[in-house]
Amino acid sequence: MNTSLLGYPRIGEKREWKKALEDHWAGNLSAEDLHAEMKKIRLNHLKKQQDAGIEYIPVGDFTYYDHILDAATMFGFIPERFTYEGGKVPLDTYFAMARGNKDVHASEMTKWYNTNYHYIVPEIGNTTPSLKENYLLEAYKEAREELGIEGKPVVIGPYSFLKLAKHYESEAFPELLEQLTNVYTQLFTELADAGVQWVQVDEPSLVTTIPEEDLTLVAKAYETLQKEVPQLNLLLQTYFDAVSHYEKVIQLPVAGFGLDFVHDQGKNLHALQTHGFPEDKVLAAGIIDGRNIWKAKLRDKRVLLQEIQIVVDEDNVWLQPSASLLHTPVTVENEPDLDETLKRALSFADEKMEELITLHNLAAGESEANAKILEDNEQIFADLKTKGWRKEEPDNSAFQEVSRPLSYEERREKQLEKWPLPTLPTTTIGSFPQTRDVRRLRARYKKGELSQEEYQSAIQSHIRTWIEHQEDIGLDVLVHGEFERNDMVEFFGERLEGFAFTKHAWVQSYGSRGVKPPIIYGDVRFKEPMTVEETVYAQSLTDKPVKGMLTGPVTILNWSFERDDLPKQQVAFQIAEAIKEEVSALEEAGIEMIQIDEPALREGLPLKREDWQTYLDWAVHAFRLSSSHVKNTTQIHTHMCYSEFQDIITTISALDADVISIETSRSQGDILETFEDNVYDKGIGLGVYDIHSPRVPSEDEMLHILHRALNVLPADLFWVNPDCGLKTRGEEETIAALKKMVNAAQKARAEITG
């Protein structure tokens, strides 16, 4: 039995990776120095795995931005707008695809399956793939030469790569897969010639709902690879759910399969026991949770491993996490302030490696030392129960539907009387630039260097400045700017019962952007109003409406590390009840436009379509639970971003929000096709410019998106806004972009009203 990892966090214990990237983007670190710093970080990560005793160490999972972008540039999928001239893709072009620049917009970014990680979407276009560089070979050689590690190169598989890509016709898929397979053949041949023994080929799309005919194409691709590079062992790796069409997948001509035995709802184990497993292949068993941060219950894991070993010979089993550790923080050791009982129950990336080794040792048999390990592990969870944090018991009973007293059409008439807004009203999503001064202000307050009065006065100064900016720009509905908030989930979690917070437990979200997901360790309860003071102050400065800004229950749940002892829906309902209290507090204080953001609603969709409805039902219920009690004149907004909405447009409508805003600019308006085939009968704003890029688009670009949108959506229901919040942008670019947005809206308004 061996141990293996699928991938390791890139971000670094103290976010060294982020700092290097942002120093380079700011012009403070040359490309040469960036490469040197990245190598240092990369080797440190490999050395950690080596020292931990991991036998199959991944290489090539490290990236300067995103691993799917790496694959796209390796295969030559460079959109024409980036004026690529061939050969190895220049670093500036690579970053332009990820972030855009002053001349061109970035490639689309969207969520990685059902996680909070974002990948850069490959654009196929008319490109014929070819191998531009073999970064896997470089990574393998570096690990071998610098550390003596015989690494396991990791690459996204050809089937999943194309499923994640866009800008090609579906009929072209078979031909494209064949072309891409030929490039993989060259890639793998070069690896085999260099002495590589195993390559991890990630095919996570095989856990989604896929048609059986796709398996014929997948089989053909892997038959080609096996025929052309027979000396190389391919590990076909899946994760995040049970593999679909198990019986056919395990017949693919590869040397091994990686299966998730944590997030598979027991289906992979059932398939293994029912249909068996090829005797001549390796099973890389994902037994340790690669996505959550709770320690494994070792006795349960040992039983699971024993059940697997009944089917698969011990010599053919690799122990590994269920997914790449990209989705977890680096180490619990950097969290000295956590409650000790809670800390003992946590396991981040480095601790998960220790758990793998421990489980490997436990599998060796019974001993006094092993009995003590199991006893100590069980005590960890017994101690959690004695704390009184968890009083609710698991409850899977049906929930009662909640709804607003009047239909949307009836409410809208009352809201139009209350809010005399112009056609195509303009607004923003919520946050304004979190400058260094703002971040320093919060840090000083946290350290006790500022009194409550001094801090509040400074926050009010920022609010006042941006209310003035918004009025000067000409926005119709304003926001207070969220200067007191560190993160849209962390801010609320810090003010609710049941959440714990870390100092250094960062996880990559996209590019250099990291988040510190809260840890839901106990029952969630409302304590006191969280947003009223700042919102009421902002409203006192203007006659225009100011929206109250909240994060929705499903997003708070999906962007936190959740408890593993209650059904997810039950935790969502706890959070919803707490947000409901905050909505009531805002309404009582006179704030009657309230935005409850749910950007993570779609990303929480199960990967198998047959599991969707159950999730969507409780997600909708949680949102309604938080918002349906308000007055009919109170206007509820929500926001979603970076998701494909075509399949859940009915669910979005079922949220019964009065206005929803959705990302559209980075995908170049592709969401509009949804509304060509589906009627959406409530207020809607489609983002007219991409806030994740430093580029300020022209009025004409925004007007183009508006014109496209107004071809399929009624003008009297349409709002104009950016794609998302503006906290990551600079002040000058924010003001410039919003002025152009307002001007574009005014031009479109004039065209409509004459």
> Which among 355, 328, 353 has a CA at the least distance from the CA of 56?
353
Instruction: Say yes or no: 379 and 440 in one domain.
Output: no
The residue type of 121 is V
DSSP states of 544-557: S-B-EEEE-HHHHH
Contact 289, 267 (CB under 8 A): no
Residue 339 lies in a domain: yes
Question: Which residue out of 67, 118, 263, 692 is catalytically annotated?
Answer: 692
The residue type of 322 is S
Task: Please name every residue paired with 183 in a beta bridge, in sequence order, or none if there are none.
Answer: none
Instruction: Say yes or no: 380 and 424 in one domain.
Output: no
Supply the pTM of this predicted model. 0.89
Q: Is 677 exposed, middle or buried (0-12, 13-18, 19+ CB in 10 A)?
A: exposed
State yes or no: 482 annotated in a binding site.
yes
Instruction: Say yes or no: 589 and 621 in one domain.
Output: yes
Instruction: Say yes or no: 382 and 416 in one domain.
Output: no
User: Does residue 167 carry a catalytic annotation?
Assistant: no
Task: Please name every residue paired with 234 in a beta bridge, in sequence order, or none if there are none.
Answer: 199
Residue 131 lies in a domain: yes
Q: Is 527 exposed, middle or buried (0-12, 13-18, 19+ CB in 10 A)?
A: exposed
Averages of pLDDT over each 10 residues, the chain, 754 residues: 97 95 97 98 98 98 98 96 92 96 89 93 95 97 98 98 95 97 98 98 97 95 98 98 97 98 97 97 98 96 96 97 97 95 97 97 84 94 91 85 93 95 94 90 91 94 96 97 90 95 94 93 96 97 97 96 93 97 98 95 89 94 96 95 69 92 66 73 86 82 89 91 87 93 95 83
Number of domains in the chain: 2
Residue 402 lies in a domain: no
Distance (Å, rounded) from C-alpha 552 to C-alpha 596?
5
Sequence-separated contacts (24+) of 210-213 with Cβ below 8 Å: 210/244, 210/245, 212/245, 212/248
Structural domain of residue 734, as residue ranges? 408-753
How many C-beta neighbours within 10 Å does residue 178 have? 14
Residue 354 lies in a domain: yes
Instruction: Say yes or no: 548 and 634 in one domain.
Output: yes
Residues with Cβ within 8 Å of 517's Cβ and at least 6 positions away in sequence, in order, are 116, 489, 505, 507, 559, 560, 561
Instruction: Say yes or no: 337 and 420 in one domain.
Output: no
**Is the backbone of residue 482 left (phi > 0), alpha (psi -120 to 50) or beta?**
left
Instruction: Say yes or no: 316 and 453 in one domain.
Output: no
Query: Which CATH number fits the domain that encloses residue 306?
Result: 3.20.20.210
Distance (Å, rounded) from C-alpha 329 to C-alpha 8?
10
Residue 151 lies in a domain: yes
State yes or no: 466 annotated in a binding site.
no
pLDDT of residue 654: 92
pLDDT of residue 669: 53
Distance (Å, rounded) from C-alpha 328 to C-alpha 349?
6
Alpha-carbon dihedral angle through residues 44, 49, 53, 57, given to the nearest 10 degrees: -120
Instruction: Say yes or no: 358 and 496 in one domain.
Output: no
Instruction: Say yes or no: 422 and 377 in one domain.
Output: no
State yes or no: 431 annotated in a binding site.
yes
Q: Phi first, then psi: what are they for 287, rounded to 5°?
A: -105, -35
State yes or no: 724 annotated in a binding site.
yes
Distance (Å, rounded) from C-alpha 30 to C-alpha 536?
46
Distance (Å, rounded) from C-alpha 132 to C-alpha 669?
30
Instruction: Say yes or no: 351 and 435 in one domain.
Output: no
Task: Count Cα atoms within 13 angstroms, Cβ side, for 332.
Answer: 20
State yes or no: 429 annotated in a binding site.
yes
State yes or no: 18 annotated in a binding site.
yes
State yes or no: 641 annotated in a binding site.
yes
Instruction: Say yes or no: 372 and 495 in one domain.
Output: no
Return the structure tokens found at 673. 């096709």
Residue 23 lies in a domain: yes
State yes or no: 597 annotated in a binding site.
yes
> Which among 229, 136, 152 has a CA at the least distance from the CA of 198?
152
Three-point CA angle 50, 56, 60, nearest 5°: 85
State yes or no: 111 annotated in a binding site.
yes
Residue 394 lies in a domain: no
State yes or no: 17 annotated in a binding site.
yes
Three-point CA angle 557, 561, 562, nearest 5°: 60
State yes or no: 116 annotated in a binding site.
yes
Domain boundary among 320, 352, 386: 386
Residue 558 lies in a domain: yes
Tell me, letter by letter, the H, E, C secondary structure of 25-52: HCCCCCHHHHHHHHHHHHHHHHHHHHHH
Instruction: Say yes or no: 368 and 454 in one domain.
Output: no
